[in-house]
Amino acid sequence: MKDGVFPLAASAEGKSGHGLAVVRTGSGRTPPPDVRPSQLDRRVLLGTDLTVREEVALADRRVDREHDLVLGGSMARYRWTINGAAFPDSDPLTVRQGERVRLHFQNRSMMFHPMHLHGHTFGLQVGGARKDTVIVRPMQTVNVDLDADNPGQWATHCHNIYHAEAGMMTTLSYET
């Protein structure tokens, strides 16, 4: 950064307002508390807007197994679920080594849920970008494919950790 004083702003998708910090690398005036950098008014880039490079894309192959992950819950009861159950009572998502697995993240709540899978990356069905976390917007569905290539018991949860702690978690479990 150059010498000066710069606003550092963060805006949560789907919410109003923003957080503000100041980065000072030299002299200069502190920006007013209501400063809004013009970058916050630009279009939000989503993973589905990206196109994967061929060398890192998942190979094209048939899907061996599919799992629905219906994301539910509400602020009123503050209980968050996958397929109607809160962790640790949620059923595991079973897979076998070598399978291509399709996950259908179906958000049936009015909250954003950044869904995260440990131990694997997945390819988005639209654009094919490789990720381990994908935002599932309220009342929307996101489909992803993964290769079951890392045996174990892997957490799958909402990355809003307060949702995971209130039950929105399960495991991706390899069977033998």
**CA 101, CA 104: separation in Å to the nearest integer?**
10
What token pair was written down for 144?
């992803």
Q: What is the pLDDT of residues 61-97, one digit of tens each?
A: 999 999 999 999 988 889 999 999 999 999 999 999 9
Rounded to two decimals, what is the model's pTM? Answer: 0.81
**CA 114, CA 134: separation in Å to the nearest integer?**
5
Structure-token match 């009861």, residue found:
77
The CATH classification of domain 54-174, taken from the options 2.60.40.420, 2.40.50.140, 2.40.10.220, 3.40.50.1820? 2.60.40.420
Q: What is the pLDDT of residues 96-129, one digit of tens each?
A: 999 999 999 999 999 999 999 999 999 998 888 8
In angstroms and rounded to an integer, the radius of gyration of the C-alpha atoms of the chain is 20
